[in-house]
Amino acid sequence: MPPAFRRQPPPPPPGDEPAFRVARERALRLPRHLRNPHSATYLAHRVARAHADLRAHVQRIHLHLDLDDHEGACAALTDLFIALGERGTALRKRLLDLIGPRIPRAARGRLAEALERPIEARSPQAHCTGSVLSHGLVGDCRLVERIGAGDERGGDALEQADNLLRDGQLEAATRVLESALAGEPRRTDVLPLLLEIYRRTRDAERFNDTCDRLLGSGRPLPREWLLLADELAGAET
């Protein structure tokens, strides 16, 4: 058995997972003990599944700011803009004013323009590292159609995996998410939950296989994936 498995502490008791703790939190700014990458992963997964959950969107934005993760805050705000479309102008402007000084000028300008012209998930303006609602950069019509079909499958995969996890079927949920990613390596919405599973299971071999698949598709690894890669590599030395 690889050292990455042997050296880990026992899993937390039921009800003490980040998903349960954050889901119970009603404040828009999470308390200090919940300000960690695990909570960020859960909130990203929540936003990917429930686009209209404004509390999760705002919690995610504030959390990335508290973690001094300006790139993550920009991605979280981009996802809020995508989810709201033309609605919630006052909320979008207030949050842009909050994070605007902390993000690059180009990103700030892109989001400022989106106050007048809503961002669509498939538009180039929606492309942002860490976004879970953006469909990424697309080229011709054939690629747009292919990604559209993948989105539908991905949504089903997320729901199926979530139901399997609720039933305690961790292995089956992992296979569902890995299969969805294998079918469309450039998807983003399955990444947060899959990362949380790898973080819990410490399955370095499967994690590395998935990283190779992502890199082989020409996309960079998200920041949270790089952090876990370093963590698992350190556990094996």
**Averaged pLDDT, 188-203:** 86
Pairwise CA distance, residues 78 & 31, whole Å: 23
Give the best-scoring range by mean pLDDT among 57-66, 131-140, 226-235. Answer: 57-66
Average pLDDT, the chain: 79
Quick check: 29 and 66 in contact, CB under 8 A? yes
Alpha helices in 33-139 (DSSP H): 37-49, 54-66, 70-84, 89-99, 105-114
Q: Per-residue pLDDT for 80 more than 60? A: yes
Pairwise CA distance, residues 203 & 210, whole Å: 11
User: What values do phi and psi take at 222, rounded to 5?
Assistant: -60, 160
Pairwise CA distance, residues 119 & 185, whole Å: 23
Radius of gyration in angstroms for the set of CA atoms belonging to the chain, rounded to a whole number: 18
**Averaged pLDDT, 119-146:** 61
- Other CB atoms within 10 Å distance of the CB of residue 103: 18
- The CA distances from residue 193 to 27, 100, 170, 234, in Å, are 23, 28, 11, 22
Quick check: 181 and 210 in contact, CB under 8 A? yes
pLDDT digits (tens, 9 = 90+) for 135-153: 754 433 333 333 333 344 4
Q: DSSP label at 2?
A: -
Domain extent for 73:
3-236
What is the number of structural domains in the chain? Answer: 1
Pairwise CA distance, residues 171 & 24, whole Å: 26
- The CA distances from residue 88 to 82, 84, 144, 169, in Å, are 11, 6, 28, 38
pTM above 0.85, yes or no: no
